[in-house]
Homo-oligomer: A and B are copies of this chain.
Amino acid sequence: MTRPSPAIPSGTPTRPGERADQSTVRHANLGTVLRHVAELGPCSRAAVAGGTGLTRGTVSSLVGELIELGLVRESAEPAGPRGIGRPGIAIELGGTVAAIGLEVNVDYLAVCLEDVRGEVRFERRRERDNRGTAPAPVLDRLAELAREALAAAADGGMRVVGLGAAVPGLVRASTGTLLRAPNLGWSDVAIADELDARLGLTSTIQVDNEANLAAVAEHWQGVAQDLASFVLLYGEIGVGGGIFVTDELFRGTHGFGGEIGHLTVDRDGPPCACGSRGCLETLVGLEALARAAGLEAGRTTSAQAIAEEIVRRAHSEDAATLAALAEAGATLGSAAASTVNLLDLEGVVLAGAYAVLAPWLGPSIADGLEEHLLAADWSTCVVRASTLGESAAARGAAAVSLRTVLAAPWVAAGREGSSRVTV
């Protein structure tokens, strides 16, 4: 974690008509205190004052506001070690502010309700092949899942401060439009507007690529917390990629970066849904892997079901399955090495169905990096499997809103540019 930025001397509480600079100072201090609490875990108000340079009185006032916002709560744990005076009441990140993350994928829909502590309070997943289905009925079902999460939030006394959606394709983030999802056969779908029309929310819905959002989740709560730079390989029917550089999601000029699934692996290879040939996902997407392993076509339709069947066969030492996994691992290893040769990253994270297959794919990918990385002798690139499981992308979609609130807690207060979702 990065160190909190130095505190700005505190102003007085914000009142109508108050000068803008005082309100700005208080906002900055509110953020400083919240980040401090997030980093320290359960701690005393005095510890926050000591660490931020703010007075105890100012910290108490700011903590009071953060408690009111549902971002901080008083903890069950004492603030200090026993026996050294009377311990104060510790404070920690609170649990009543949450965000909703949705995911549309080729063969499932998912939702999660995640609180500001990064804990999942509700989640649902619906397996269903969405290919060849028009966007409208799929988005109807997605909105239904969102309503279930909103109801769960209301039942749990949670305040929902944002909603995000993960989609398997190119996104224009500024408008929340899915420009192109080759595996769904969708193009130009105004996801944010369509969801808004169905849910009638007061906040902006943030839409992004599934693998980008899975990378956000891994960096915030998952296996990539200590990696400043990595590429996440998101294995589903297609293959997505999310890239972090210097602790930030790397988007590229128009936000279209990270499309590792469309790296050309074999110019004479099989046709890809994108219109090109021999893209990485035509060789190592989950359906391609199923064919290579000799699974009956059409017997299983979801990437997750394919992955589970492959794991079962691999455990029983099925030769075709083990050969298919070895070949896929080698192909992914050389694609990962190409990516790291270009970008000089610290790690590779296997997510989606690849997380399930990591015991087989991981070592081949590590071998590929060792073999193909020009800088292998001077840098290490670790390979890890996601621990967030199937919900990584949906959790990333929620995390985007939660991280915004953690960075700028006054947003949760609805004072400026409200992102509050009304249930």
Q: Chain A interface (Cβ within 8 Å of chain B)?
A: 170, 172, 179-180, 182, 228-229, 241, 243, 245, 250-260, 262-264, 267, 274-276, 279, 330-331, 334-335, 337-339, 341-346, 371-372, 374-375, 377-379
Query: How far apart are the CA atoms of A264 and B341 in the complex, in Å?
Result: 10
A255/B170 contact (C-beta < 8 A), A262-B374, A337-B264, A372-B262 known: no
Q: Are B343 and A342 in contact (CB under 8 A)?
A: yes
Q: Are A170 and B375 in contact (CB under 8 A)?
A: yes
Query: How far apart are the CA atoms of A334 and B269 in the complex, in Å?
Result: 13
Q: Are A377 and B180 in contact (CB under 8 A)?
A: yes
Q: Which 9 A-B pairs rank lowest in CB-CB distance, beginning with the nearest?
A: A252-B344, A257-B344, A256-B375, A264-B334, A259-B341, A256-B344, A263-B338, A262-B374, A262-B341
Q: Are A372 and B276 in contact (CB under 8 A)?
A: yes
Most buried by B among A259, A338, A341, A379: A341
Most buried by B among A264, A279, A378: A264
Q: Which residues from chain B contact A276 at a C-beta distance below 8 Å?
A: 371-372
Query: How far apart are the CA atoms of A241 and B341 in the complex, in Å?
Result: 10
Query: How far apart are the CA atoms of A229 and B330 in the complex, in Å?
Result: 31
Query: How far apart are the CA atoms of A330 and B241 in the complex, in Å?
Result: 24
Shortest Cβ distance from A264 into B: residue = B334
A267/B342 contact (C-beta < 8 A), A252-B229, A375-B256 known: no
Q: Are A258 and B342 in contact (CB under 8 A)?
A: yes
Q: Whole-angstrom distance from the CB of A142 to the nearest CB of chain B?
A: 23
Q: Which residues from chain B contact A259 at a C-beta distance below 8 Å?
A: 341-342, 374-375
A342/B375 contact (C-beta < 8 A), A228-B253, A229-B253, A337-B264 known: no
Q: Which residues from chain B contact A180 at a C-beta distance below 8 Å?
A: 374-375, 377-378
Q: Are A344 and B229 in contact (CB under 8 A)?
A: no
Q: Which residues from chain B contact A330 at a C-beta distance below 8 Å?
A: 267
